[in-house]
Amino acid sequence: MMFWILIAALTAAATLAVLVPLSRNRQPAGAAASKADEAVYREQLETVDRDLKRGLIEPEAAEAARTEIARRLLSASERQTQTVEKSERSLQNKIAIGLAIVFLPAATFGLYIFLGSPDQPDQPLSARLEGPAQGQSVDVLVARVERHLAENPEDGQGWAVIAPVYMTIGQPESSARAYANALRIVGPNADWLTDMGEALTIANQGLVTADARKAFDQAVSLQPEAVKPRFFLALALGQEGRTDEAVAAWEQLLEGEDETQAWVGAARAQLAELQGTAPPVANRPGPTEEDIAVTSDMTAEDRQTMIQGMVSGLAERLSAEGGSVDEWNQLMRAYMVLGEKQKAETALNDALAAYAENPDDLSLIKDAADQLGLTGS
Amino acid sequence: MIIEFGHYALVLAFALTLVQSIIPFWGGITGNERLMAVASPVSVMLFILVLISFIVLTMAYLSSDFSVLNVVQNSHSAKPFLYKFTGVWGNHEGSMLLWVLILVFFGALVGFFGGNLPADLRALTLAVQGWVTAGFILFLLATSNPFQRVVNPPLEGADLNPILQDIGLAIHPPLLYVGYVGFSITFSFAVAALILGRTDAAWARWVRPWTLLAWCFLTLGIAMGSYWAYYELGWGGWWFWDPVENASFMPWLAGTALLHSAIVMEKREALKVWTILLAIFTFSLSLLGTFLVRSGVLTSVHAFATDPARGVFILGLLCIFIGGSLALYAWRAPMLKQGGLFAPISREGGLVLNNLFLTAACAAVFVGTLYPLVLDAITGETISVGAPFFNLTFGPLMIPLLMAVPFGPILSWKRGDLLAACQRLYVALGIALAMTLFTFWLWGMEKVLAPLGVGLGVWVMAGAVSEILTRVKLFEIGLKRGISRLWGLPGSAWGTAVAHFGVGVTVLGIVTASAFQEEHIQTMRPGDSVELSGYQVTFDGAAPRRGPNYTEEVGHFTIRKGGVVVSELDPSKRVYTARQMPTTEAGIYTTGFSQVYLSLGESRGDGAVDVRVYFKPMITLIWIGCVIMSIGAVFSMADRRLRVGAPKPSRKRTAAAAPAPAE
């Protein structure tokens, strides 16, 4: 409301700037004009006199200049500015008033409604960062913690809090950096080391780099029984081409493990690949780097659900009852992870058919498909 | 809400410029004084409206309001306060808004202080200024709206181009824009005069303070831009004949010609055709510069915008304003009555000569700037026109002009006596010759042209001094009366002498800095030293450092003269984190008018770096000379004849203050 009052006041002020001078009586323009001319020429005459008195110019030159200026003075006073008839003038004034009262506000308002966003509030950064935490997006919350950490860079727990958040919003590099800070300040911690190694691995498209290896090694030295770091170390051996050592590591890892554990399937697949006997379940040469990148940022339960529940159950439910855009995207993603591109394409076509009426949702689906490399044919 | 208020103010300003374009114009050509009276208050109101929107945009920058697209694209919350502020015009949209702000500022100045102008001339001038303003606000709203919003504001912006994160951005663009855009008002005066058929001596007198004001700021703006490029780009050069520099230099050349031509028109009512044409050309060249910089035709620090739609829009504006005014000129110019006659050897003749050389020089720069662009557009062939071209065209044109400069003010009006003028200048000539011979003696014959150049600079400076001295007849009437006569000299006489003296100073700086500079480019390890021009520069080592929004590698150098430490310099190479963009910060030691200039190059590992070391003798004279020139303009503005003519005594004081608010 305040906004509308303000712009109305501003418009009124602009209109008045036109109306007030229109309503005043004026002396005829011609007289004023010749007065202005004359003032200039009279001053020129004075200058000539002054220069002569100072000896800056010769008397003959001064005389010639005076004659010239006097001629200009004469022609200036002869100048007649043409003026219009009185009746025509009142018509002119009416048109001008009309322009000020009707055209000015109407044009401004129309153009503003077309260009502006009157409903959008100001959003200064400080207000956004200091407002209540509830209802804020993850980005805002992250930025707040970042700001806090920029001011208190030695807050180790703060770094430990934000590190897993970076993982969930897809910034593994930042996550690794945050873990490194937390470790530097608070001291060694097997879980953080493992998670840092995982973040570094994901940041490098599934490749276990030297830094990541160092982190996993350290984690194992702190907690020799931990499965996760050993899992990645075995993976690293395989990536380095040290097949025999890798096979030994996998076998040691799988020894006496509960078969229901989620990671066991992946470990067996790796082992089988190293031994040259690809398992029948996953009809492909083995997990690619991308697959690891996609699956390893989920917990073991997630992956289990994905493989067993989602692919069969979700597909059935979606084809029977339909579902949300997110669910369709999830399904396509799941198929791609399993390497079943044909089924993913089919899912995409089904999804496009289901949302054919809704352009917004369609574009969301298409975006997701693009990311997965699906064409929808 | 505040942001939308600023947006609304800008839209309202656009509608109001349309009213301003119509009502006073109609009143002016029909002689309706009520309609004419609308011009002044509306011009002030326009300034208030655009000022509101400019302040609002500034507030959005200062509070890092990332719901404004322009702020997102050009700011960053970690940027220091000063650069948040100057970043407002460090981008295309914001700088266009500043451009419009200065357009309406000049309109408001004429509206407020133009009480001494005839009502019809003032109304028409402001109406024409309204057309120009309407065109540019439409350009802003249609193609480059600074108030465009973002629905889901991000948390961080893209930061400002690091080269622009410098105190120079606070000074160079505003000065340059006041100069550039200031010539819009002389353009509007010229178009109004053509429409009204009022091109007389009084017109030239009324235009004079505006021309002086714009010229003064343009001079300072160009000089500041040159110094900025000198210390920020790290190449040690101060002028590159870069198309963008030329774009600002062309209006300066035309504006300088206009300034001189208008004197003749005011005194003798001659050269009307020239003066009006130069007024149109000067602003047209400003517009051309805007087009070159904004359309994406050029790639440079200044090329903010590469959107072809904007280029087309500005090209359209350019065609309308330049084409329209030239068509009007072609129609009206033959009706101009020729004024006073004069002999070739006379003050008028000298000023005509000056005009010819300046316009020819301007044409040379024009060809050198546009020819490669046109060739590229037509044949796709890329050529680069650089310093050699300009040295061969612009240089030779300047030499006779500079030789003639001291004669101009000494010749009398109508019919001058060249022999008498020579006699008055023999002392100046003697000093110049002595300086030339002295330089030859110092440097021998290895640089033949340089001593002649030094002599030329000294000749212009000595000529300016002797002009003042002969005016007061110091040697004839004695010191005491001479000094009292010095005080009594009109401001314009002082202005001429001071500005011409400044030209000489700049020439001297250019010649010495380019001919006698010493340069070393080499890899230095910590502890290494370079000897140049009597200075010993020692590299002590380099270390990383962290700024608010950049990281830098800082080299530490000690400068000794005769074994005594005279200065320590820390040139650096920065990388701005948000854009991952490197910049160089030169280390400069100023001694007298000369400078030792250090700039870091590539790091070689194991602590070694490439370093450029220059000794630049008297280089600061280049910019000091420009400052002296603009001080000359201030003297001229203070001339008492520019204060007269106010119809009411109470207005006399305000009219005198006309140029003051912008200083």
**What are the C-alpha distances in Å from B421 to residues B37, B135, B413, B450?**
49, 49, 13, 27
- Give pLDDT, residue B300: 53
**Which position has the token pair 């620090």?**
B301
Does the CB of A72 have a partner CB in chain B at under 8 Å?
A: yes
Does the CB of A61 have a partner CB in chain B at under 8 Å?
A: yes
Angle at B339 between CA B334 and CA B342, to 5 degrees: 125
State yes or no: pLDDT of B391 exceeds 60.
Answer: yes
**Which position has the token pair 């917004």?**
A360
- Give pLDDT, residue B130: 94
Using an 8 Å CB-CB cutoff, list chain B residues near A33. Answer: 118-121
pLDDT digits 0-9 by tens, B244-260: 888 889 999 999 999 99
Q: Which of B140-149, B314-323, B622-631, B636-645 has the highest mean pLDDT?
A: B622-631
- State the pLDDT confidence band at A135, using cuts at 50, 70 and 90: low
* Least confident range of A295-309, B95-109, B333-347, B533-547: A295-309
pLDDT digits 0-9 by tens, A171-207: 888 888 888 888 888 888 888 888 888 888 888 877 8
Nearest to B17 by CA among B144, B143, B109, B136: B136
Q: What part of A 1-30 touches B (C-beta under 8 Å)?
A: 2-3, 6-7, 10-11, 13-14, 17-18, 20-22, 24, 26-30
Does the CB of B142 have a partner CB in chain A at under 8 Å?
A: no
Q: What part of B 509-538 touches A (C-beta under 8 Å)?
A: none
State yes or no: pLDDT of B200 exceeds 80.
Answer: yes
* Least confident range of A74-78, A218-222, B406-410: A74-78
For residue B559, list its beta bridge partners.
B537, B567
One-letter amino acid of B575:
V
Helices (H), B569-619: none
- Give pLDDT, residue B104: 95
Choose between B647 and B307: higher pLDDT: B307
Choose between A298 and B263: higher pLDDT: B263
State yes or no: pLDDT of A291 exceeds 90.
Answer: no
- Give pLDDT, residue B323: 93
- State the pLDDT confidence band at B292, using cuts at 50, 70 and 90: confident
* Least confident range of B311-320, B485-494, B555-564: B485-494
Q: Which of A106-110, B368-372, B530-534 has the highest mean pLDDT?
A: A106-110
Q: Residue B578, class by beta-carbon neighbours within 10 Å (0-12 exposed, 13-18 middle, 19+ buried)?
A: middle
Nearest CA-CA distance, residue A205 and chain B, Å = 23
- Give pLDDT, residue B326: 92
Tell me the mean pLDDT in the region B395-417: 85
Tell me the mean pLDDT in the region B407-430: 83
Does the CB of A33 have a partner CB in chain B at under 8 Å?
A: yes
State yes or no: pLDDT of A335 exceeds 60.
Answer: yes
User: Mean pLDDT across chain B, nearest whole number?
Assistant: 85
State yes or no: pLDDT of B481 exceeds 70.
Answer: yes
Residue of B nearest to A44 (CA): B641
Tell me the mean pLDDT in the region B63-84: 86
Q: What percent of chain B has pLDDT over 90?
A: 33
Tell me the mean pLDDT in the region B532-560: 86
Does the CB of B8 have a partner CB in chain A at under 8 Å?
A: yes
Q: Which of A280-284, B347-351, B471-475 has the highest mean pLDDT?
A: B347-351
Tell me the mean pLDDT in the region B333-343: 74
- Give pLDDT, residue B655: 37
**Cα(A187)–Cα(A189) distance, rounded to whole angstroms?**
7
- Give pLDDT, residue A305: 46
Helices (H), B197-271: 201-232, 243-268
- Give pLDDT, residue B252: 94
**Cα(B340)–Cα(B352) distance, rounded to whole angstroms?**
14
DSSP B99-164: HHHHHHHHHHHHHHHGGGS-HHHHHHHHHHHHHHHHHHHHHHHHH--TT-B-SS--SS-----GGG
Classify B171 as helix, strand or coil: helix
- Give pLDDT, residue B461: 94
> H-helix or E-strand containing B611?
strand B608-616
Angle at A287 between CA A282 and CA A288, to 5 degrees: 135
Per-residue b or e along B113-146, where b marks 16 or more CB atoms closer than 10 Å to that residue's CB: bbbbbbbbbbbbbbbbbbbbbbbbbebbbebbbb
Asked if the Cβ–Cβ distance from A18 to B42 is below 8 Å, we say yes
Tell me the mean pLDDT in the region B41-64: 94
Tell me the mean pLDDT in the region A96-100: 89
> H-helix or E-strand containing B560?
strand B550-561
Nearest to B89 by CA among B78, B79, B101: B101
Does the CB of B9 have a partner CB in chain A at under 8 Å?
A: yes
HSE of B291, CA atoms in CB hemisphere, 13 A: 20
Name the residue among A39, A55, A104 with its Cβ closest to that of B116: A39
Angular region, B414: left φ>0, alpha ψ -120 to 50, beta rest: left
Helices (H), A55-155: 59-78, 86-98, 104-115, 125-130, 138-151
User: Mean pLDDT across chain A, nearest whole number?
Assistant: 76
Name the residue among B5, B26, B64 with its Cβ closest to that of A3: B5
Classify A116 as helix, strand or coil: coil
Nearest to A339 by CA among A377, A299, A294: A294
Q: What percent of chain B has pLDDT over 70?
A: 93
pLDDT digits 0-9 by tens, B114-132: 878 888 889 999 999 999 9
- Give pLDDT, residue A298: 53
User: Residue B280 in contact with residue B326, Cβ under 8 Å?
Assistant: yes
Does the CB of B3 have a partner CB in chain A at under 8 Å?
A: yes
Q: What part of B 172-211 touches A (C-beta under 8 Å)?
A: 200-202, 205-206
Using an 8 Å CB-CB cutoff, list chain A residues near B67. Answer: 120-123
Domains, chain A, with CATH or none: 2-115 (no CATH), 300-372 (1.25.40)
Tell me the mean pLDDT in the region A125-151: 72
User: Residue B581 in contact with residue B605, Cβ under 8 Å?
Assistant: no
Per-residue b or e along B273-289, where b marks 16 or more CB atoms closer than 10 Å to that residue's CB: bbbbbbbbbbbbbbbbb
Q: What part of A 154-183 touches B (C-beta under 8 Å)?
A: none
Other CB atoms within 10 Å distance of the CB of residue B362: 26
